[in-house]
Structure 1
């Protein structure tokens, strides 16, 4: 019985705690007036006669209204160029509280006419947009790439706040092109017709990467053909050249193993009983490695000063492997795996252009990663 009484007590206490939280009383006591209004409204929507919420709502609403109006007056008195966004935010909060109360019939019995500042909100939004526009003009006039980038974002905010104010969208476009870094990527030159197809494929991968690059909107890559056709004056040149590459270095290694196995049936007696003995064999294992490697140099040069702003080297290696074996002696001395290896024959290696392509794969991966790392936050 005592346990049942305790359980009832805890359940009753839990209901009291939950009820206290949902009426808005605790939020009011903590000075979180907006939350107190929202909680009281929510409670009165489901329980219109809740006395505690009916008592909390007018007090919480009055405190919330006065708190937002105070913050509006304080913001207007400052010299902060972005003060109108603070003013706008507080008017939005006041209007939001009014909308919440107006959606609750029981709430209107204790707060019959919640204040709304529609025209004031519209005016503060326009003023906030004008402030962002003026800030964008100031930044754009500094004529630097970082300031133009910041100006772009200012005009973007101005357009969102005050869509019809002056020429925000046109100015945003001006700021964008003033902030953009134009990079012309020179093609890789491979002085060998033997590897032309593989070199073209490697170049195509790079072209696809730069044409699809979109991580940083203020960085645009052009091929030399695009730059010439569009008459682009670059900010930087990105050149790629192989310092060296070697294709098809061949290494063949032979390993000889002498094998023997005991207790193998090697015959039988006249009575047809098995005769056990030792069998032997010499196993020759051949391993062929064909290595191809290269070192790609990436150099980024400032177009005007001709200074190198970044230089990296990316190594790549690919090793093609083959193995087979032969034996002399009794094949019963060999394991199943060894015997299977003796049945293999030497395989013809891939052609040189394929080997070239294989060693460029890790180079491309490093190159793409480094370009992204360098330009993503440029």
Structure 2
């Protein structure tokens, strides 16, 4: 195998790597230039260009990040330590990169920022923690939710920081809106079981989707009688103007015809039978049975503390069951493919009313869940 044929390609890669480092340096992308030069020295420890430009690139990168860190420290921003931490981490990354190459260490003595990062992280966590404590002392739901975010940020910076986890849970409970979903009034005992199934599915869905971190839904039957439970909102549900199982039967007939070619009684000079056009006819007899169901879900959300109506609306829903079958009389050749699709079948009974009721609630359910997502997105 001739290894020399790959030599030009290797030389091109080395040359491109060197030039890419120089290009990054000339464009002021000093951190990236440091990484490019170190990679070059890992392959060729004696590369003159990399050895010459690496110290300059590192010095320029340090000057850039140090300047940004000092600028952040001089600001009055409560969260300045998070910006400082980012700059220190960028410089520590360059430190680790240079230490990966003995040749790079020969020309650059990188600075270790691990202790500075730890200090900045502690200060950043303390700043978030202090903001959370201050917000929590306000004692209202909106401030408690903001406090929750601050304590959560402190814990992301420093896990197990002080008692931030406990205070975060406390802030969550204060900021939480407890919504009790009522039993459904359908004004018809016959459909009560189906209505309860609808409500159960709705509550489960609202609980699982977590429409809002600080909004929690409860089934009225499960929290009734709990002394320590304090609801904030009450959602009242009621089905109105619903009609299940209104049947319509439509019978009609339709005449169809088609011109087709059939063999005639004469032959041409070659003895081939001559085709002739004839018109064939048939009559379709179609029965279409339709069962329509429709209804309205009326809902109202009120504030338990002052009885204010926060939102009220009605959500319509409908479902149409249909069965169609037919026969024909006449010449079958007159039928089109669409006509044939109407034939066959049989007269079958519609689903029971409870099933029809559940079907008409499906579009109501989708629209209602969408309304609630929109309403509670503002909390």
Distance in structure 2 (CA, Å) of the matches to 1:282 and 1:59: 94
Distance in structure 2 (CA, Å) of the matches to 1:303 and 1:123: 47
Deviations 1:88-123 (A, max 9, x none): 222222222111111111101111x31113332222
Structure 2 CA distance for partners of 1:21 and 1:309, relative to 1, 3 Å: farther
Distance in structure 2 (CA, Å) of the matches to 1:104 and 1:140: 50
Instruction: Describe how 1:9-20 pairs up with structure 2 within 5 A.
Output: 18-20=16-18
State the SS of the aligned residue for 2:147: helix
| Structure 1 partner of 2:311 | 310
- 1:184 Cα deviation after fit: 0.8
| Structure 1 partner of 2:354 | 353
- 1:57 Cα deviation after fit: 0.8
Distance in structure 2 (CA, Å) of the matches to 1:293 and 1:73: 68
- 1:363 Cα deviation after fit: 1.0
Distance in structure 2 (CA, Å) of the matches to 1:165 and 1:53: 44
2:163 counterpart (163, 167, 189): 167
1:252 counterpart (242, 249, 253): 249
Structure 2 CA distance for partners of 1:340 and 1:104, relative to 1, 3 Å: closer
Deviations 1:112-150 (A, max 9, x none): x31113332222211111111111112222333232222
Number of residue-to-residue matches in the alignment:
355
| Structure 2 partner of 1:74 | 71
| Structure 2 partner of 1:368 | 369
2:54 counterpart (27, 43, 57): 57
Distance in structure 1 (CA, Å) of the matches to 2:171 and 2:350: 56
Structure 2 CA distance for partners of 1:92 and 1:229, relative to 1, 3 Å: farther
- 1:324 Cα deviation after fit: 3.3
| Structure 2 partner of 1:5 | none
Q: Is the 8 A contact 1:248 1:355 kept in 2?
A: yes
- 1:281 Cα deviation after fit: 6.6
Q: Is the 8 A contact 1:259 1:333 kept in 2?
A: no
- Structure 2 portions without partners, runs of 5+: 1-8, 263-277
Deviations 1:278-300 (A, max 9, x none): 98776543222111110111221
Distance in structure 2 (CA, Å) of the matches to 1:213 and 1:375: 12
Q: Is the 8 A contact 2:257 2:335 kept in 1?
A: no
Deviations 1:340-367 (A, max 9, x none): 8676442222221121121111111211
Deviations 1:184-228 (A, max 9, x none): 111212232322332232223213212323243211111113333
| Structure 1 partner of 2:335 | 335
Distance in structure 1 (CA, Å) of the matches to 2:169 and 2:317: 42
Distance in structure 2 (CA, Å) of the matches to 1:281 and 1:131: 87
- Normalising by structure 2, what TM-score? 0.83
Distance in structure 2 (CA, Å) of the matches to 1:119 and 1:342: 84
2:129 counterpart (130, 133, 156): 133
Q: Is the 8 A contact 1:183 1:235 kept in 2?
A: yes
Structure 2 CA distance for partners of 1:31 and 1:200, relative to 1, 3 Å: same
- 1:334 Cα deviation after fit: 6.5
Q: Is the 8 A contact 1:130 1:162 kept in 2?
A: no
Q: Is the 8 A contact 1:261 1:278 kept in 2?
A: yes
Instruction: Describe how 1:91-102 pairs up with structure 2 within 5 A.
Output: 91-102=88-99
State the SS of the aligned residue for 2:183: coil
- Does 1:144 pair with 2:140? yes
- Does 1:176 pair with 2:156? no
| Structure 2 partner of 1:235 | 232
- Does 1:212 pair with 2:212? no
Distance in structure 2 (CA, Å) of the matches to 1:90 and 1:264: 87
Distance in structure 2 (CA, Å) of the matches to 1:14 and 1:201: 71
- Does 1:290 pair with 2:298? no
Distance in structure 1 (CA, Å) of the matches to 2:160 and 2:212: 28
